[in-house]
Amino acid sequence: MSVDRRLVAGVDSSTQSCKVVIVDPSTGGILRSGSAPHPAGTEVDPEAWWSALQQAVSEAGGFADVAAVSISGQQHGLIALDRHGQVIRDALLWNDLRSDGAARALIAEIGADEFVDRAGVVPVASFTGAKLRWLRDHEPDNASRVAAVALPHDWLTWRLLGHGPSSSSALRGPDLEALVTDASDASGTAYFSAVTGRYDLDLFRAAFGAPAREATGSTTTGSTTDGSPATDELGPTTAPIVLPRVLAPHESAGHTPEGILVGPGAGDNAAAALGLGAAPGDVIISIGTSGTVFSPTRLEINDSSGMVAGFASADGGRLPLVATLNAARVLDSAAALLRASHTDVAALALASSPGANGLTLVPYFEGERTPNLPSATARLEGMTLANSTPENVARAFVEGMLCGLADGLDAVLRQGVKVQRLFLIGGAARNPAVREVARDIFTVPIDVPEQAEYVAIGAARQAAWTLTGTSPRWQVELVATLHPRPSQVRQQYHSYTNTNVIDATRPAHENSDNDHRRSSGAQAPVEG
C-alpha cells in the first residue's frame, strides 16, 4: 500500500547536532521531529554528520510520507573531496581558527576594500577561503588531491541525492557535477558575490592557488571531473576544482533515490530568517554560543571594516550579519562566578536596577569580533564597596552581553538597514533577566517567539516553496512582546569601552559624527 507523500521536512545540521522536523505545508505545524548529536571539536569527519542525519530522520518517523526536504547547515566549513568523491581530510569547521594567519595573508594580498567590493566580506579564519589557503600552505599533499570543495549543507544534500564516494554503497556514485549549494551559504566562502550571484573564481584561485569552475549538474559517472577516465590512483588533481552549482532560492536540487524532491538548502542564519518569516524591517538577534545580529534586506551591503558581512539571504536578497564572540557563555561565566544556577542568576539580576548601580561588565571573555578586539579580556568596571553585590554583578553580566549585541545592531543599521522590530531568539532568549534587561538596551519593540527549531523550520519552508512554487506563510507564535524603556545603560557601558554611542533608531547620516568603525578600533576581523 503506497503512502501519500504530502508533508515536507527541514533539516538543521548544526555544529552540535542534527535536527529534523516534519511539517504540514498547509499550516506549518510540526507533526514529528528527531535529533542526533554531532561529535565535538573543530574538525569532524563528515560521515558522522551523514550518520546523524539518518538517525535523526529515523527518530522523526522516517520520510515515507514526505514529498520534499531541504537541508540547512552550519556555514563556512571546508569539505575537500578527491576525484572519487572521497573526503580527503576531516572537515574544518567555522570555529577552527588555525586559518587566522591565512585570512590575514589574503587581506594583505587582495585588500579589505577589494574583498568587500567583490565578495561582500573581509576574510576571517572562519571563512572557507581562509581554510583553503591554510590547506594549501600546511597540507600540500592533501591540497594536491582536491577535486571539489563543498560546504556542510552542500555535501549532505549530495549524499541525500544518492551520491557518495566510490567506496560507499551510494546508489548514484561519486558524481561531483551533482554538487549544489545556494547563495546564502556560498556567500560565506569569501569567493562568492551576493551582488552578482556568482563565484569569483579569481578570488578562489588567490586563496587556493588553483583554478576552479562551477559544477555543470550533468552526470559523469565513471569519469573524473574533467571528463577523463577515472583511475584508482590518488595522485595530484590537475583539472579545475569543482564548486557546487548555485541554485535559485526555490530551485530543485533533484530527487532522492526514493523520489523525494530536494530543495537547494541554505546557511543556518538564512534558514532561521525564513523560519521566522522575517521581512525587511525585522532584525534578528540570536543569543547562542556566539551572538548574531542579521536582517533580510534588498540593500547592497559594503562594509570595508569587515564588521558587517554582506551575506546573501535564502530568498534572493541580502542578509547583512554581525557576529559577536561573547554571548550565552557570558551567562555561564556569571553562574560560575556567583556559584549559582542560571535561574538564580536571573533572579539576582532582576533584583538589581538598570545600570547595576554603576557596575559595568565589559564582556570580552574571548576577545571580541565586534568591535574587533581579538586580544581583549573581560573586566568589571565601576566597582565600589556599595555596589559589589551578587545582584549587581548578575545584572552587569546580562547588561554587558546585551550591550555587545547592541553594538552589533548599530553596525548593521549603519549600512542603511531600517529596523521596526527585533526578534530575540536562541537559548538565552528564554532567560527572564535577558528579556527584561533587553528593554533597557534596545530602543525598538522586541518580539520573543516561542522556543522552536527555526533553522529546521526555515529549511522546511524552503522545501514547501520548492514543492509548490509559492513561499508559504506560516504563523510564528510569540511568547512576549517587549516594549523599550529609556535608560542610560548603554551610555554607561560605552564610557568603559571607548565606543561612541550611536542611536540605532536614527538614520545613519544623523550619526555621521560618531564613526562606529573608528571609535571601536575595528579593522578587518581576525577571529572566527
Give a yes or no: residue 526 inside a domain. no
Confidence band for 237, pLDDT divided at 50, 70 and 90: low
Active-site residue 268, yes or no? yes
- Highest mean pLDDT of the ranges 1-15, 229-243, 362-376, 397-411: 397-411
Query: Is 488 marked within a binding site?
Result: no
- Rounded to an integer, the average pLDDT of 203-217 is 97
Give a yes or no: residue 511 inside a domain. no
Which of 71-80, 101-110, 270-279, 296-305 has the weakest average pLDDT? 296-305
Give a yes or no: residue 75 inside a domain. yes
Sheet-wide strand order for 446-449 = 309-312, 318-324, 291-294, 281-287, 419-425, 446-449, 478-482
Amino acid at 119: A
Task: Judge if 428 and 378 occupy the same domain.
Answer: yes
Task: Judge if 294 and 260 occupy the same domain.
Answer: no
Measured between alpha carbons, how far is residue 188 from residues 177, 247, 370 in Å? 21, 15, 17
Give a yes or no: residue 382 inside a domain. yes
Catalytic residue among 268, 303, 315, 407: 268
- What's the confidence (pLDDT) of residue 372? 72
Task: Judge if 256 and 398 occupy the same domain.
Answer: no
Confidence band for 48, pLDDT divided at 50, 70 and 90: very high
Check pLDDT > 70 for residue 222.
no
Lookup result for grid cell 518580539: 447
Task: Judge if 387 and 423 occupy the same domain.
Answer: yes
- What's the confidence (pLDDT) of residue 132? 98
Measured between alpha carbons, how far is residue 216 from residues 225, 243, 384 in Å? 10, 9, 66
pLDDT tens sequence across 107-126: 999 999 999 999 999 998 88
Task: Judge if 331 and 365 occupy the same domain.
Answer: yes
Give a yes or no: residue 312 inside a domain. yes
Task: Judge if 494 and 383 occupy the same domain.
Answer: yes
Task: Judge if 312 and 255 occupy the same domain.
Answer: no
pLDDT tens sequence across 396-437: 999 999 999 999 999 999 999 999 999 999 989 999 999 999
Taking the C-alpha atoms of residue 292 and residue 422, their distance in angstroms, rounded to an integer, is: 12
Confidence band for 260, pLDDT divided at 50, 70 and 90: very high
Check pLDDT > 90 for residue 333.
yes
Domain count, the chain: 2
Confidence band for 306, pLDDT divided at 50, 70 and 90: confident
Maximum Cα–Cα distance across the chain: 78
Cβ–Cβ < 8 Å for 65, 41 = no
Positive or negative torsion for Cα 348, 353, 357, 360: positive
Angle at which helices 46-59 and 152-160 pack, to 10 degrees? 60
Better-scored residue on pLDDT, 80 or 288:
80
Query: Is 76 marked within a binding site?
Result: yes
Task: Judge if 316 and 204 occupy the same domain.
Answer: no
- What's the confidence (pLDDT) of residue 236? 60
Taking the C-alpha atoms of residue 462 and residue 274, their distance in angstroms, rounded to an integer, is: 8
Give a yes or no: residue 70 inside a domain. yes
Task: Judge if 310 and 250 occupy the same domain.
Answer: no
Check pLDDT > 70 for residue 491.
yes
E strand intervals along 317-374: 318-324, 360-362
Task: Judge if 25 and 174 occupy the same domain.
Answer: yes
Task: Judge if 253 and 292 occupy the same domain.
Answer: no
Give a yes or no: residue 517 inside a domain. no
Cβ–Cβ < 8 Å for 322, 412 = yes
Confidence band for 147, pLDDT divided at 50, 70 and 90: very high
Check pLDDT > 60 for residue 508.
no
Check pLDDT > 70 for residue 246.
yes
- Rounded to an integer, the average pLDDT of 485-506 is 73
Q: Assign residue 217 a region (left: φ > 0; alpha: ψ between -120 and 50; beta: otherwise).
A: left
Cβ–Cβ < 8 Å for 276, 423 = yes
Confidence band for 325, pLDDT divided at 50, 70 and 90: confident
Check pLDDT > 60 for residue 233.
no
% of the chain with per-residue pLDDT over 90: 80
Domain that holds residue 155: 7-217+241-264
Cβ–Cβ < 8 Å for 263, 253 = yes
Task: Judge if 390 and 337 occupy the same domain.
Answer: yes
Give a yes or no: residue 512 inside a domain. no
C-alpha cell at 60: 522523526
Cβ–Cβ < 8 Å for 99, 134 = yes
Check pLDDT > 90 for residue 4.
no
Q: State the CATH number of the domain containing residue 254.
A: 3.30.420.40
